[in-house]
Amino acid sequence: MFHNTITFIIVLGILVFIHELGHFIFAKLAGIRVERFSLGFPPRLVGKKIGDTDYCISWLPLGGYVKMSGMIDESLEGTLTGAPWEFMSKSLPKRFMAIFAGPAFNYLLAVLLFGWVAWSEGMRTPTHSYITEVRANGPAEKAGFLAGDIILGIAGNDVANVVAVVDLFYSNANNELPVQILRGEEKLTISVTPQLDPQSRAGRIGIGIGQKYSFQPVSFTLAMVSGFYETITITKLLGKSIGEMIWGNESVKESIAGPIGIAKMVGQAAHAGFDVLLRFMAFLSLQLAILNLLPIPALDGGHIVFIIFEGIMKRPPKMKTRMVVQQIGMVFLLCLMVFIIINDLLR
């Protein structure tokens, strides 16, 4: 557990540093004074002030922040004097980039990490899906599936990619499906009827699914292109998952992991190998980018909403309104964090 925690803190620290570095660089390019660059949340642990900026490490290692002059953010601190180096004194495009750069740097990091893994281990091509576990009393167990069975096809459909397997089962609740499998040297056809999950409205048969790949060496450039396309693909899947949770078709309790759950997964990824850990880092970086762009007050997406509002209305929202909205956003995020941590502990 200690090893998992240390690995998690290192991974999170890298992701947060890249995120805040994006804010920092584009704030500096815009001529905005940066008062503090912190890894972790207050209270301040150690640091050094260089020029106008206090570079520090704080006690709570679950995030970080860049404090820009003249920006009323989630800390609800700061004053507006109209000085030319303040956030609110800059043009809308410059303010937008200073905020958007954080998620953008996380997105770019995901592309680079996926690309690096593709270059180091070779281009991955799915070869087959296989069953990693069969859950007790589920349709799969009753039908006779076993862990280790290789899935060759479902109702005549090619299922080399695990996503195809999931989609076929999800979309065929209460419909009998013939599944072709390879068990050892023997080819079998087993029929199974996915059971409708009333919460997600999807068909499930009670199995875990793994993916096997073949690998071919590729150039660095082609690997980075592959990393870009893999990032786009996972972005679509994450967007779909967020949409399902918003509309109540997917359980928030089952879908969201907090610091404890993520620390455990980071430890498992590290144990599986360095390339696996890098891929998981890329996935987390992508999640961090997408979640920060959600239009929730106190997140980057909330700040972007204020900037868009100002661009449309030709005036910034009233400071009192902005602070109230920020406070509501902070209360929401704190409640969500408490819920996630309790859910982690109950798991």
Q: Which is nearest to 34 in space by CA: 44, 46, 20, 47?
A: 20
Catalytic-labelled residue, pool 20, 86, 230, 250: 20
What is the distance between the alpha carbons of residues 5 and 149, in angstroms, rounded to a whole number? 34
What is the DSSP track for 223-283?
HHHHHHHHHHHHHHHHHHHHHHHHTTSS-HHHH---HHHHHHHHHHHHHH-HHHHHHHHHH
What is the distance between the alpha carbons of residues 293 and 279, in angstroms, rounded to a whole number? 22
Residue 75 CB neighbour total at 10 angstroms: 15
- CA-derived radius of gyration, the chain: 24
CB 70 within 8 A of CB 54: no
Exposed e or buried b for every residue in 254-287, given b needs 16+ CB within 10 A?
eebebbbbbbbbbbebbeeeeeebbbbbbbbbbb
Residue 9 CB neighbour total at 10 angstroms: 16
In the chain, how long is the greatest CA-to-CA distance?
A: 77
What is the distance between the alpha carbons of residues 100 and 22, in angstroms, rounded to a whole number? 8
Decide: helix, strand or coil at residue 310: helix
Contacts of 299 (CB under 8 A, 6+ apart): 291, 292, 293, 329, 333
CB 287 within 8 A of CB 261: no
CB 271 within 8 A of CB 7: no
* Residue 250 annotated to the active site: no
Which residues are tagged catalytic?
Answer: 20
